[in-house]
Amino acid sequence: MFAPVYLDHNATAPIDPRVVEAMLPWFSQRFGNPSSRHEYGRAARAAVDAARAEVAAAVGAHPTEVVLTSGGSEANNLFIKGAAATMKSGLVAISAIEHPCVRETARSLESQSWRYAEIAVDGRGRIEPDAYRAALAARPAIVSVMLANNETGVIQDVAGLAEAARPTRAWFHTDAVQAVGKVDVDFRALNARGVHALTVSAHKLGGPKGAGALVVDKRVELLPLIHGGGQERGLRSGTENVPAIVGFGAACRLAVEAKSAVAARLLALRDVLEKGLAEQGATIFGLGAERLPNTVYFSLPGIDGVRGGDREVHPRSQARPRRIRSGQRRRLLERQAGAFARADGDGRRAGAGARRGAREPGAGNHGTTGRGFSAGPRGNGFSIEEAGRLGQLRRKRNVEIAHLP
């Protein structure tokens, strides 16, 4: 038997022991409510404010621009629904590779007479220029394009896309949960180019689950999802999760401090891994595009990630199989077929796939297509994390896309 290796950092990263140490006192001795005015409350408020400043520093923002939430999904919901609630119904346009917490939130606006559109990506996973121009010509009110994809690791030119959207006067949002702590993210510079908000999540960079933030230009009017005591400038009521917020701040500080050294090490490891994969006949997706240093997304001929009828099981996985319905599998594969139609190796555009539901890299916490690995900041060897799901897509030239748990 061999010890399992954790290969899923883009779904959630191991919590840094130093983060745990910073959190522990706030579970026991320092239990005050940050809204209380006595000594215990003031201490908790100071801890929340200090953590908020660390989150802001990690992304080049001012602390007053940071709205603390329970995670990335809530932050994305807060921006899309909160902004839409202040406008007349219009068009919300998102990339075809968004995480479901962006995609499904945007689609939910259709029940309020909003129109919904997806912007196609090309064979490398980058926003397709003609598709983007067409989306902007339709005058969207809200645009959301993720900064870095959780499966392919492909980085979008968010600053350029936001600047191009300026004439539409749309609010531009980017889900940056995969990018923060791995590459430079500067909200002030992005904001100057037209990005109005970005999302951060603690557990993607060595912090605890249950903490995240929406970093938002204060000129953007939002309506809250949760009403109550008026915490977070009235945008997110509810008693703050002090231990998680403290951990979030510590994780941001530690990730930024180690970012350059970790990125250099992971890039070297990624090059070695991709060279070996290529020698084995693997197709590596996203080559030629700027990518996260910790992520490799590939497929291998003859590798089938599906076992046991309608159960999704990776052949080497120690994880318990998860059952899915055949209809769900079909829809999943249809989405994947559209977004990365690369079986012929000709880098054909996935524009038509976007209309068929080509949401490819972004379904679920892990993402979907391909076998994606991404390396974590700690460990002596490859701490390569898998950013993929289960399943497999057989393409024209017998190229297979495996989905891992």
- pLDDT per position in the chain (405 positions), as tens? 678 888 889 999 999 999 999 999 999 999 999 999 999 999 999 999 999 999 999 999 999 999 999 999 999 999 999 999 999 999 999 999 999 999 999 999 999 999 999 999 999 999 999 999 999 999 999 999 999 999 999 999 999 999 999 999 999 999 999 999 999 999 999 999 999 999 999 999 999 999 999 999 999 999 999 999 999 999 999 999 999 999 999 999 999 999 999 999 999 999 999 999 999 999 999 999 999 999 999 988 888 655 544 433 333 333 333 333 344 444 444 444 343 333 233 333 333 333 333 334 433 443 333 455 655 654 323 333 332 332 232 232 222 222 222
Does 164 lie in the same domain as 96? yes
* Co-location of 231 and 292 in the same domain: no
Q: Which pTM value belongs to this model?
A: 0.78
C-alpha distances in Å from residue 334, one per residue of 54, 70, 299, 329, 359: 42, 32, 17, 9, 9
We report the CATH number of the domain holding residue 69 as: 3.40.640.10
> ∠ CA(390), CA(380), CA(176), 5° rounding?
50
337 and 365 inside one domain: yes
The answer to the question of residue 91 being in a domain is yes
Residue labelled with tokens 């701490």: 383
pLDDT for the residue 342: 31
Residue 86 forms part of a structural domain: yes
Q: Which domain holds residue 78?
A: 17-252
How many structural domains compose the chain? 2
| Interval 209-220: pLDDT, tens | 999 999 999 999
Contact (CB, 8 A) for 288 and 374:
no
Q: What are the residues whose beta carbons fall under 8 Å from the beta carbon of 62, sequence distance 6 or more?
A: 56
Q: Are residues 232 and 184 in the same domain?
A: yes
Same domain for 90 and 206?
A: yes
Q: Is residue 9 part of a domain?
A: no
Whether 11 is in a domain gets the answer: no
In a domain, 8, yes or no: no
- Which of 217, 252, 287 corresponds to the end of one domain? 252
**pLDDT computed for residue 106 by the predictor:** 98
Is the distance from CB of 340 to CB of 370 less than 8 angstroms? yes
Q: Are residues 246 and 342 in the same domain?
A: no
Residue 289 inside a domain? The answer is: yes
Q: What was the pLDDT predicted at 377?
A: 53
Q: Is 6 part of any domain?
A: no
User: In the listed set 227, 252, 277, which residue is the last one of a domain according to the structure?
Assistant: 252
Both 179 and 33 in a single domain?
Answer: yes
Q: Are residue 239 and residue 94 in the same domain, yes or no? A: yes
Q: b/e string for 26-53 if b means 16 or more Cβ within 10 A?
A: beeeeebebeeeeeeeebbbebbeebbb
Q: For residue 129, what are the contacts with CB-CB under 8 A and spacing of at least 6?
A: none
pLDDT of residue 178: 98
| 299: DSSP letter | E
Whether residues 67 and 159 share a domain: the answer is yes
Do 315 and 237 belong to one domain? no
**Closest Cα partner for 117 from 106, 127, 108, 128?**
106
Q: What element of type H or E holds 403? A: strand 400-403
Q: What is the pLDDT of residues 59-98, one digit of tens each?
A: 999 999 999 999 999 999 999 999 999 999 999 999 999 9
136 and 196: one domain?
A: yes
3-class secondary-structure state, position 172: strand
Q: Is residue 166 part of a domain?
A: yes
| The domain boundary residue, chosen from 213, 231, 252 | 252
Tell me the β-bridge partners of 121.
127
Residues 21 and 99 in one domain: yes
